[in-house]
Structure 1
């Protein structure tokens, strides 16, 4: 079988949700992942996304190869580090990207999820 390219990733996100998909991307991004017909408790997929999500992926995609994207996990990590108070330089160093990439990801996040305005402030 050949790996399913990019267009399959939205199916994975729909199956397991954005949070688990980002977790999978962070742990397995850039690799080729074979989806077995059964993912037991010691399978890497089960370790990363848990029993229920692994079972959903296996039921829908057994026998296929997935190519989790690198950027999804990287972008989520950048946002997480910034929310934790890290500086732009520290984030770039920890994630292994440029300052420009960090600014770009944070700007995209602001457009997608604008900050809430204080109604009573």
Structure 2
């Protein structure tokens, strides 16, 4: 499929797809006319990339992790290793810390809102 179709199917801009290719996250063949041609599995790959970016991982870390991730059929990648588990555990712990910080911030806001609401009603 061409870059425009991949963009439509994944809701990721063509510019982002070109960036992914430049970073080594995504690969495309070239037609004789120089157009990018992506395999069907690129859709799942882009979805994985988006999920990992949303989790706060940088492109360099994603490049390391993508080859180890499960394929669409659910089977583990041939290169899945204990290293992957270790790396993902570190990232999960980082995300857990961020969640805890956000929950504390929400609690502070709730206290301020409650205090402010009490003043307004009084």
TM-score, normalized by the shorter chain, greater than 0.5: no
Larger-Rg structure: 2
TM-score normalised over the length of structure 1: 0.24
Query: RCO (CA 8 Å, sep 6+): is it higher in 1 or 2?
Result: 1
